[in-house]
């Protein structure tokens, strides 16, 4: 049966979504981004060649696969254009395969200014956003004053909308943040140029996706960020401004909930987080340093060092529940190769799952200790070659969460995976 599969992060992002989406494109006709923006950084490594994608779906390196940016994604046109040009410079055919929803909100220069001014004003309480204007752009969408891609490519509409919305934001920039207002002419002129570049790729993405479904095509829905960064279910207010959970795959693309056949939840074999906010299993000792070093834990978008800690099964179970995860993919198993003892968090010392950052701070993690395997799992593609201790970790994850592990990733390259069950087949 043809399937629509959602791939999403179950932690605080950077679980390896890009790698796994790219892997699964072997059986996909199209890949769809449905939320987030260029705050995402998805790394693909194919035969030692590294590509980092921010807005363009991770299907672009598989010739013939169509790539859609859905209505739920906030689009910064200059970032998008830069990414298109970079891919084209390395010989990838982009413009004939990329489709951009006319209903997607645009990240305008004042959103970026506001994001950065607010973070500065927060000082030590800053969220640690990527500074890309994501939050302010989603706010404008919800406030019903946002500029959409469809407005951007209509110069008259753009002029009218921009005049009103820029006056509003400039007032805040000037009188609340005591900063320099943005020039209408500059913002308008550069928006016109950007619109000119992208207009040939703008379309009714929802209509096209339904056409693909009618044709019996397989769709891969690519999440950004992770469940604990979800605006509702994450560690609020240290979250991003979109729903990162599986419901967004429908809302952010125009599919119906019943069109989704399978949800693949990606989790690292440990945990990382970039930016501020609670992180119950965070390590500040040698083990944390070892995880960061072996996992090369630096942000793919901002280059910031990622905080590292043990796998949190309590949070993972909640992620499995709120996403309706069908199967899990455990990535970066190889990073644990050198650990004599591996810990997993199996309790929070309280019954309720925290509802806000302040409650997360109260958690006293309880751990189960597992024996490490102290041998290389790097590049293993066959379950039978996995050390018994590594199999034990996988079993513990399955038992605690109640869902099967269908893929294990044993290295960053497209080829380094144990595929127990391919969600697309």
Interface of this chain with ligand IMO, residues 4 to 23, rule: CB under 6 A: 9, 12-14
Catalytic residue among 38, 42, 111, 169: 42
Interface of this chain with Mg ion, residues 281 to 310, rule: CB under 5 A: 300
Q: Are 333 and 295 a contacting pair, CB within 8 Å?
A: no
Q: How far is the CB of 139 from ligand IMO (least distance, A)?
A: 11
**Shortest CA distance to 264 belongs to which of 27, 70, 61, 50?**
27
**Tally of residues, the chain:** 425
Distance CA(237)–CA(253), nearest Å, equals 25
Nearer to ligand GDP, 103 or 409 (CB): 409
Count CB atoms within 10 A of the CB of residue 192: 14
Asked about 232 being catalytic, the answer comes back as no
Q: Which does 225 bind (CB under 5 to 8 A by kind): ligand GDP, Mg ion, ligand IMO, none?
A: ligand IMO
Q: Which does 335 bind (CB under 5 to 8 A by kind): Mg ion, ligand GDP, ligand IMO, none?
A: ligand GDP
Q: How far apart are the first and last CA of the chain?
A: 8
For ligand IMO, which stretch binds (CB under 6 A), given 124-132, 183-191, 288-296, 348-356? 124-132
15 in contact with ligand GDP (CB under 6 A): yes
Q: 165: helix, coil or strand?
A: helix
Q: Which does 334 bind (CB under 5 to 8 A by kind): Mg ion, ligand GDP, ligand IMO, none?
A: ligand GDP
For ligand GDP, which stretch binds (CB under 6 A), given 35-43, 98-106, 155-163, 199-207? 35-43
The contact mask relative to ligand IMO for 127-156 (x = CB under 6 A, - = no) is: xxxx-x-xx---------------------
Distance CA(247)–CA(226), nearest Å, equals 13
Distance CA(330)–CA(411), nearest Å, equals 11
Q: Which does 275 bind (CB under 5 to 8 A by kind): ligand GDP, Mg ion, ligand IMO, none?
A: ligand IMO
Nearer to Mg ion, 147 or 229 (CB): 229
Distance CA(52)–CA(303), nearest Å, equals 12
Pairing of strands 366-371, 341-347: antiparallel
Asked about 312 being catalytic, the answer comes back as no
Q: Which residues pair with 268 in a beta bridge?
A: 331
Distance CA(321)–CA(162), nearest Å, equals 41
Distance CA(65)–CA(169), nearest Å, equals 39
Q: How far is the CB of 119 from ligand IMO (least distance, A)?
A: 9
Provide the annotated active-site residues.
14, 42
Binding positions for Mg ion, rule: CB under 5 A? 14, 41, 300
Binding positions for ligand GDP, rule: CB under 6 A? 9, 13-19, 41-43, 45, 300, 331-332, 334-335, 409-412
């Amino acid at each position: 049966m043809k399937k629509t599969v959602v791939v999403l992060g179950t932690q605080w992002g950077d679980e390896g979504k890009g790698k796994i989406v790219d892997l699964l494109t072997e059986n996909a006709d199209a890949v769809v981004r449905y939320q987030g923006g260029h705050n995402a950084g998805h790394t693909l490594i194919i035969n030692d060649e590294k590509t980092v994608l921010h807005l363009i779906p991770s299907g672009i390196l598989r010739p013939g696969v169509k790539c859609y940016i859905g209505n739920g994604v906030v689009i910064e046109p200059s970032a998008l254009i830069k990414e298109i040009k970079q891919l084209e410079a390395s010989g990838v055919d982009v413009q004939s395969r990329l489709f951009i929803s006319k209903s997607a909100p645009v990240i305008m220069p004042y959103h970026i200014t506001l994001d950065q001014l607010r973070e500065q004003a927060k000082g030590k309480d800053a969220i640690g956003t990527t500074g890309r204007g994501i939050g302010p752009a989603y706010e404008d969408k919800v406030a019903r004053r946002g500029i959409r891609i469809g407005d951007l490519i209509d110069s008259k509409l753009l002029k009218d909308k921009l005049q009103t919305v820029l006056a509003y934001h400039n007032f805040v920039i000037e009188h609340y943040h005591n900063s320099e207002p943005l020039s209408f002419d500059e913002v308008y002129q550069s928006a016109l140029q950007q619109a000119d570049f992208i207009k040939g790729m703008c379309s009714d993405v929802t209509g096209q996706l339904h056409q693909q479904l009618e044709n019996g095509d397989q769709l891969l829905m690519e999440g950004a960020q992770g469940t604990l960064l979800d605006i509702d279910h994450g560690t609020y207010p240290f979250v991003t401004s979109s729903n990162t959970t599986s419901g967004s795959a429908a809302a952010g693309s125009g599919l119906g909930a019943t069109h989704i056949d399978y949800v693949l939840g990606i989790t690292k074999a440990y945990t990382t987080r970039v930016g501020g906010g609670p992180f119950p299993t965070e390590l500040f000792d040698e083990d944390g340093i070892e995880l960061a070093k072996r996992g090369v834990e630096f942000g793919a978008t901002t280059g910031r060092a990622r905080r590292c800690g043990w796998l949190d099964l309590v949070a993972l179970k909640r992620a499995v529940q709120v996403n309706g995860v069908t199967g899990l993919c455990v990535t970066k198993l190889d990073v644990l190769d050198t650990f004599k003892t591996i810990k997993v968090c199996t309790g929070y010392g309280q019954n309720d799952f925290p509802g806000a950052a302040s409650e997360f701070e109260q958690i006293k993690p309880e751990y189960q200790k597992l024996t490490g395997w102290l041998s290389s799992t790097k590049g293993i593609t066959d379950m039978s070659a996995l050390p018994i201790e590594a199999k034990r970790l996988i079993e513990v994850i399955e038992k605690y969460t109640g869902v099967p592990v269908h893929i294990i990733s044993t290295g960053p390259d497209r080829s380094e995976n144990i595929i127990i069950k391919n969600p697309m087949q």
